[in-house]
Amino acid sequence: MESMMGNMKLPKQNPERGFSLLEATIAMAIGLIVMASMASLFKTAMNSTMLVTQRAETQQNMRAAIDLMVKDLSLAGAGLPSGGIQLPNGSNSSASKFGCDQSGTCHVPAFTYPTNNYMYGIIPGYSNGVEASAVIPAAPAAINDSVTSIFCDYNYPLWEYQVTAFNATGSQITLAVNPQYAANPPAAINSIGGILVGDLIMLSNNAGTAVGEVTGITATTLTFSDLDPLNINQSGAQYNNIKAIKGGANTVAYRLFAVTYYLTVPGVGQQPRLMRQVNGLTPVPVADDIINLQVAYDTYNTTTSALDANQANPLGVAESPNNIQKINLVLMGQSMVNNGNKSQNMFLATDVAARNMAFRNRYQ
């Protein structure tokens, strides 16, 4: 028995072999490298997505703003007498205003009509584009411009009325529907969508043309009292007020739009925005995160018979806004969504033909 047990061999145990410490360390290092690479790729992809989102939103914001500006500027001078309108002047007159609302707040630093109170179809506002002269640190240049476009409102049919009477001082007119429109009369002038206090009205007849700011309104009358917020109504002025044309015949009235674009900085922590202010009404925002507006003009030089391109300040070099042929716009926006401190700034440029302003036949 002992001999047999001595000859028996027990089976050897052969367990699976594990990783050594060195192998585990190398594997962990490789894994960490792979994970770091994946994290870096993910971060790069996220940054790229954020960059594209910022640029797309900024571009969309600026396009909406510039489209509205182009529409208003393309109408500059439409319906005005050739060369514009002389506002009240002579003795007892003072400068009229634009870019101001009914509270008396003027939203651009320089807000009086140029060259002895003259209403041009376009009023350049070189370095006059930030309300209260506020500083916009993100703007790349110290210059921010405003621009004002003035034109007739052909959508509201005020011309379908006849001016039947002026009062003694020209501070009130009475209107009645023109008989040729009696079959389909226009809505009352004070109805929704009609004339508002603060609107500008151009009156034309065989005695001349004058402008007034509406200070009161009923279904049949418009009042133009003195001391209006825009200082347009000056019954005591020597020339070019409503009183001066009240004796004329066949008076026709049109609503004017005096549209001013400028930038404002609303308050602490808020980004600059582009504003649109019409006549004497309350301004409305057009687009947020607009940090720079620059406007230049292609102007016909009557002395040299040449085109002076990209004039930043036509009034400053004694060129008449009546000779502006094209408006060149550059708008700069800042991304609305910030990725840390990595805001994106973009420029958008376009030009607008001032088809109702000067005309130069370049083939002569």
Amino acid 11: pLDDT: 57
Helix (H, G, I), strand (E, B) or coil at 93: coil
Sign of CA dihedral 242, 248, 252, 258: negative
Size of the chain, expressed as the number of residues it contains:
364
Rounded CA gap, 337 and 289, in Å? Answer: 10
pLDDT at 334 > cutoff 70: yes
343 or 7, greater pLDDT? 343
pLDDT at 41 > cutoff 80: no
Give which of 282, 312, 285 is closest to 199, Cα–Cα. 282
Amino acid 1: pLDDT: 47
Mean of the per-residue pLDDT values of the chain: 87
19 or 241, greater pLDDT? 241
Give which of 315, 302, 296 is closest to 354, Cα–Cα. 296
Give the pLDDT confidence of 337-355 residue by residue, as tens digits.
554 456 677 888 999 998 8
Amino acid 43: pLDDT: 67
Q: How far is CA 124 from CA 194, 319, 327, 356, in A?
A: 29, 11, 10, 16
pLDDT at 231 > cutoff 60: yes
Rounded CA gap, 187 and 285, in Å? Answer: 29
Amino acid 256: pLDDT: 97
Looking up tokens 């060149």, which residue turns up? Answer: 328
Q: Could you count the other beta carbons within 10 Å of the beta carbon of residue 231?
A: 20
Contact status, residue 187 vs residue 158, Cβ threshold 8 Å? no
Lowest mean pLDDT among 104-108, 116-120, 288-292: 288-292
Amino acid 363: pLDDT: 44
Residues 6 or more apart from 75 whose CB is under 8 A from it? 149, 151, 257, 356
Most confident of 123-132, 140-149, 351-360: 123-132
pTM (two decimals): 0.84
Over pLDDT 90: what percentage of the chain? 62
Name the DSSP class of 58: H
Q: Looking at residues 118-136, what average pLDDT do you find?
A: 94
pLDDT at 17 > cutoff 70: no
Q: What are the tokens at 52?
A: 């594209």
279 CB-side CA count, 13 A: 21
Over pLDDT 70: what percentage of the chain? 86
Contact status, residue 172 vs residue 221, Cβ threshold 8 Å? yes
Q: Could you count the other beta carbons within 10 Å of the beta carbon of residue 19?
A: 10
Provide the pLDDT confidence category of residue 364 given band limits of 50, 70 and 90: very low
Rounded CA gap, 243 and 167, in Å? Answer: 9
Give the pLDDT confidence of 183-218 residue by residue, as tens digits.
888 899 999 989 999 999 999 999 999 999 999 999
Give the pLDDT confidence of 85-114 residue by residue, as tens digits.
999 999 999 999 999 999 999 999 999 999
Amino acid 93: pLDDT: 97
Helix (H, G, I), strand (E, B) or coil at 114: helix
Q: What are the tokens at 195?
A: 């004339």
Amino acid 143: pLDDT: 87
Rounded CA gap, 256 and 79, in Å? Answer: 9
The gap from C-alpha 316 to its chain's centroid, in whole angstroms, comes to 23
Q: Which amino acid is at 235?
A: S
